[in-house]
A and B are shown apart, each in its own frame.
Chain A
């Protein structure tokens, strides 16, 4: 390691911010812990011969089940931890890291807890819901891995407020520039001004495709018309065309921005509600197990 020597910038404040992402946190500390937990669970499963066959009601099964249930509750608490800005030496990054790897270890722990006994009952429902939560989490992590860079590139140092402000400013200019136009062309510009450019529902938001965008339609229509007219100097339609062009490109940017943000968030709308369904099913599972014991 090579360092340039500088006088010590002694500070009494501790520096806690090491530059590593939540997946690599402290050199994969939580990945290692999760792997050890999984390894021990698998080894125990293989070494202990439960009669007549492995099941959740055995002593080993109870241990795994208890660990799994407590883990699920703890993992749910990330939602509270994230929002409760209390004092103290905690880092949300460490929590996220642990959340990810311990959450993944549930695949092993819970599957072993079932003893591979599945059926159409509340027990398997809880298991299935848990797997759905984990799958949506994996999907989320892949989004977290892939999209931030694209989000940053697309912004090009503009904030969302600035993008929307730019859009409004172009709309104002369009409104002024359209004053000398005839009714037909003015209506086209009006249609672009009136449309909510981000309407079109969830699908449009997630794909970034807005098939009935009236800005694009208006521009196409104006250009079609222009092809049949003589070229004039200082034609107000030229200014309209360039404004619509600018509006089109800023719309593209905002729509991409909203799409990326939506993709970064949408998985949470699966992950979190199913977590609550899981906790309900889990409670039913635990109560019923003890009730029918």
Chain B
């Protein structure tokens, strides 16, 4: 390659393809570099026939290539055909190793030694990264592969799978599944435990080992691969076994290191993981910079997707846009920008226009964005591009004076920021006239965001105000992108939490000293913040997560109470002096605010109302303490059972639940009417599995959503389709693309991926004419037989029957009263002991 291309595009996913297509359309000299022998590898690797979704629906597609929801094969086929039609210059097997040079003269080095010259570079490599490679010596002719498409292809081979994650285990099980294939399968794992794999996969693997269908080597690493043989280093020394094929599934390296090193200068610096050792590292301020050191951070980009290295542009998932449509639009846009079309409005312009439509006229989108950014303190660190993205996930509204923004007790988790005007907080639910103002530029509603708990007070607009509602997702991303925003939100949240918790007429100035000395600490599940019998006077406020209080009685810990986020503990030793009277430990991972004891004592001394309030709370706890002390000899059996049951429920994740279905197996007759009712209330799919799940003392926790305070399922949802509803329900909306991330992230296995079955004949026609499958979820066979057309698999989970009058169907439909729904703070109280 002698001549330099105008544009080199790295990666042929939706973003790269679209960019290359646009460049070809415009007649720009370009090259599309793809490391495999086919286009769009990520989608290519989807399973056969997978339905690819095209969300967000309201976003217009702007790309030379067509894209519509449909089967993987159809999508790929269209792209292949249109790429060829546009005459895109594709270079296959071109894996870029490094990029050097500067704008106008970049050199892209490939792993096979070739070099490509280009004036500008578009990075569209996604976030999948490259598979980790085998590091041991591999003899020529030995077969080592990093993917397995179809396990049925291999017969009568000795196959070794390296890696004990889900991918490795699933591959190994697939190869050993059919005895007739005659494969001898071994799986090798570096550690003794399979900590990264899913429980059922590990169980299946160990089952296959016990059945003699597979050999499982733990604490072993491959030392050498030869033709027909593989050698391992094991705990007990070297081991050599027959091996015709190695399938290495050892995870992948995120592409960040590669991106950061583009056009960077290097220097010797200390290896952060290996103190004392030096390594070659990127010199600060050179190369493509990221917004923070967070694992999930994205590159710093200009409004035209240009990175901190002029001439290198980043688009697609790597730029923070995981959806195919976004990627394709950016591919088009970035080529337009490079070609000098600076007047181009982004494709999301109409969406943003709509967001600002309800506001006073006279400003365009860019001006509104700039106004919000400059007026609101926590947004000031955002770049204009980030600001656009931020607004896509947020809403802005105008409120008339006196209009309610949210009400006390609502279970929402968004954050609000005031762009213009001010609001009033009704701090006393009994008397709405007592209010505290919050002014322009400030935020409110941060408690819901941080603790996942209900709104603590009703808030109204004080005057005509423009207020931004920041969704939970956008707020979290903002905190990752802008460290100063995070600090500010933390400070305000501590201050407000104290004011709200203790009320008692405190002001910001009163608590200033305590806030200044406060420290936020993350506590692992099971870790104690207060230990019985220790000295200490600090007070802890639980910010997120929940805690349990235990007391040692007769050498055994007895469960005293469950303390949800938003409560405080540790006041007893502070007021009474003396040692801690009980142990407080985290039920699940929790954030606590440690308030220095002396400062808090001074505050109490100056504010008698506060002391009175704290004493009230303490009194209730003291009653529980004495209740247990008093009877520890007489009713140890009952206390024990209660204590054990509480512990069982905490172990089952009730500590992070907001509303959970429990089944009293003293009453459950196994009729499964709960499951049938669930299916019949929701498109014919049951969202609960009554029989599965753990049981203790006949209290059964079925496989069903607990509506966690901080839902794990929300963590990584590309279309942001999972929300918390007004009554606390966590639900998935129609924009679900069926990627299965939420299912993988849920530690309780309550999300299923399934197709909505066809509509059933009515109950009466079943009763009298025998038509259809009857009440409950129809059988898979019936659904397949009766469904018309292709339907995508989507994520299905409990939505607490939101919007259905009468409430959760599972409870209403239980004939014996075995099914109950509870929230942990109602259920885990000593009060139940006396009942």
Q: Evaluate contact between B819 and A83: CB separation under 8 angstroms.
A: no
**Which residues of the other chain, A, contact B664 by a CB distance below 8 angstroms?**
19, 21
How far is B620's CA from A148's CA once the two chains are assembled, in angstroms?
Answer: 37
Q: Evaluate contact between B211 and A93: CB separation under 8 angstroms.
A: no
How far is B617's CA from A19's CA once the two chains are assembled, in angstroms?
Answer: 27
B560, B668, B726, B807 pick with most chain A CB within 10 angstroms: B807
B301 at the interface (CB under 8 A from A): no
Grouping DSSP codes into helix (H, G, I), strand (E, B) and loop, the A interface class, with mixed when no group exceeds half, is loop
Q: Which of B234-264 contact A (CB under 8 A)?
A: none
Q: Evaluate contact between B410 and A12: CB separation under 8 angstroms.
A: yes
Q: Evaluate contact between A21 and B681: CB separation under 8 angstroms.
A: no
Asked, given contacts A11-B454, A83-B775, A85-B813, whether A159 binds B692 with beta carbons under 8 Å apart, the answer is yes
B794 at the interface (CB under 8 A from A): no
Q: Evaluate contact between B566 and A7: CB separation under 8 angstroms.
A: yes
**Which residues of the other chain, A, contact B454 by a CB distance below 8 angstroms?**
9-11
**Which residues of the other chain, B, contact A83 by a CB distance below 8 angstroms?**
676, 763, 767, 774-775
B830 at the interface (CB under 8 A from A): yes
A46 at the interface (CB under 8 A from B): no
B49 at the interface (CB under 8 A from A): no
Q: Which of A14-34 contact B (CB under 8 A)?
A: 14-22, 25
Q: B825's closest neighbor in chain A, by CB?
A: A6
Indicate with 1 or 0, residue by residue over A157-192, a CB within 8 angstroms of chain B CB atoms: 101110000000100110010000000000000000
Which listed residue (A6, A87, A155) contacts B563, Cβ 8 A? A6
Q: Which of B793-835 contact A (CB under 8 A)?
A: 800, 804-809, 811-823, 825-826, 829-831, 834
A227 at the interface (CB under 8 A from B): no
**Which residues of the other chain, B, contact A5 by a CB distance below 8 angstroms?**
616-617, 620-621
Q: Evaluate contact between A2 and B825: CB separation under 8 angstroms.
A: no
Indicate with 1 or 0, residue by residue over A102-137, a CB within 8 angstroms of chain B CB atoms: 000000000000000000000000000000000000
Looking at the assembled complex, report how far the CB atom of A238 sits from the nearest CB atom of chain B, in whole angstroms: 15
How far is B774's CA from A12's CA once the two chains are assembled, in angstroms?
Answer: 34
Q: B811's closest neighbor in chain A, by CB?
A: A17
A92 at the interface (CB under 8 A from B): yes
Q: Which stretch of B145-153, B694-702, B714-722 is in the interface?
A: B694-702
Which listed residue (A11, A90, A169) contacts B727, Cβ 8 A? A11
Q: Evaluate contact between A264 and B670: CB separation under 8 angstroms.
A: yes
Q: Which of B198-241 contact A (CB under 8 A)?
A: 207, 211-212
Which listed residue (B767, B817, B830) contacts A2, Cβ 8 A? B830
Looking at the assembled complex, report how far the CB atom of B517 sits from the nearest CB atom of chain A, in whole angstroms: 24
Q: Evaluate contact between B728 and A96: CB separation under 8 angstroms.
A: no
Q: Evaluate contact between A144 and B813: CB separation under 8 angstroms.
A: no
Q: Evaluate contact between B825 and A16: CB separation under 8 angstroms.
A: no
Asked, given contacts A4-B621, A10-B454, whether A93 binds B831 with beta carbons under 8 Å apart, the answer is no
Q: Which of B127-184 contact A (CB under 8 A)?
A: 179
Q: Evaluate contact between A4 and B561: CB separation under 8 angstroms.
A: yes
Looking at the assembled complex, report how far the CB atom of A2 sits from the nearest CB atom of chain B, in whole angstroms: 6
Q: Evaluate contact between B817 and A16: CB separation under 8 angstroms.
A: no
Looking at the assembled complex, report how far the CB atom of A21 sits from the nearest CB atom of chain B, in whole angstroms: 5
A84 at the interface (CB under 8 A from B): yes
Q: Evaluate contact between B727 and A17: CB separation under 8 angstroms.
A: no
**Which residues of the other chain, A, contact B817 by a CB distance below 8 angstroms?**
19-22, 25, 93
**Which residues of the other chain, B, contact A42 by a CB distance below 8 angstroms?**
none
Which listed residue (A87, A159, A161, A264) contacts B804, Cβ 8 A? A87
Q: A93's closest neighbor in chain B, by CB?
A: B817
**Which residues of the other chain, B, contact A12 by a CB distance below 8 angstroms?**
409-410, 726-727
B680 at the interface (CB under 8 A from A): yes
**Which residues of the other chain, B, contact A95 by a CB distance below 8 angstroms?**
815
Asked, given contacts A7-B564, A11-B409, whether A1 binds B820 with beta carbons under 8 Å apart, the answer is no
Q: Evaluate contact between B665 and A148: CB separation under 8 angstroms.
A: yes
Q: A147's closest neighbor in chain B, by CB?
A: B669
Looking at the assembled complex, report how far the CB atom of A5 sits from the nearest CB atom of chain B, in whole angstroms: 4
Which listed residue (A13, A18, A147) contacts B728, Cβ 8 A? A13
Q: Evaluate contact between A90 and B812: CB separation under 8 angstroms.
A: yes
Indicate with 1 or 0, residue by residue over A74-94, a CB within 8 angstroms of chain B CB atoms: 000000101111011111110
Asked, given contacts A83-B775, A85-B813, whether A9 binds B825 with beta carbons under 8 Å apart, the answer is yes
**Which residues of the other chain, B, contact A92 by a CB distance below 8 angstroms?**
673, 812-815
**Which residues of the other chain, A, contact B411 by a CB distance below 8 angstroms?**
11
How far is B823's CA from A96's CA once the two chains are assembled, in angstroms?
Answer: 26
Q: Evaluate contact between A261 and B816: CB separation under 8 angstroms.
A: no
A152 at the interface (CB under 8 A from B): yes
B677 at the interface (CB under 8 A from A): yes
A3 at the interface (CB under 8 A from B): yes
A224 at the interface (CB under 8 A from B): no
**Which residues of the other chain, B, contact A2 by a CB distance below 8 angstroms?**
623-624, 627, 830-831, 834
B87 at the interface (CB under 8 A from A): no
How far is B816's CA from A87's CA once the two chains are assembled, in angstroms?
Answer: 19
Query: Given A6-B567, A21-B817, A152-B700, list of 9 further CB < 8 A pairs?
Result: A1-B834, A4-B624, A6-B561, A8-B409, A16-B811, A22-B816, A93-B814, A144-B669, A152-B668
Measured CB to CB, the residues of A under 8 A from B are 1-22, 25, 80, 82-85, 87-93, 95-96, 144, 147-149, 151-152, 155, 157, 159-161, 169, 172-173, 176, 261, 264
20 A-B Cβ contacts within 8 A? A2-B624, A6-B561, A6-B563, A8-B409, A9-B658, A10-B408, A11-B823, A17-B822, A21-B664, A85-B677, A85-B775, A88-B805, A95-B815, A96-B815, A144-B669, A148-B666, A159-B692, A160-B691, A172-B211, A264-B669
Top 8 A-B pairs ranked by shortest CB distance?
A10-B409, A152-B665, A85-B680, A159-B691, A5-B620, A17-B820, A13-B727, A93-B817
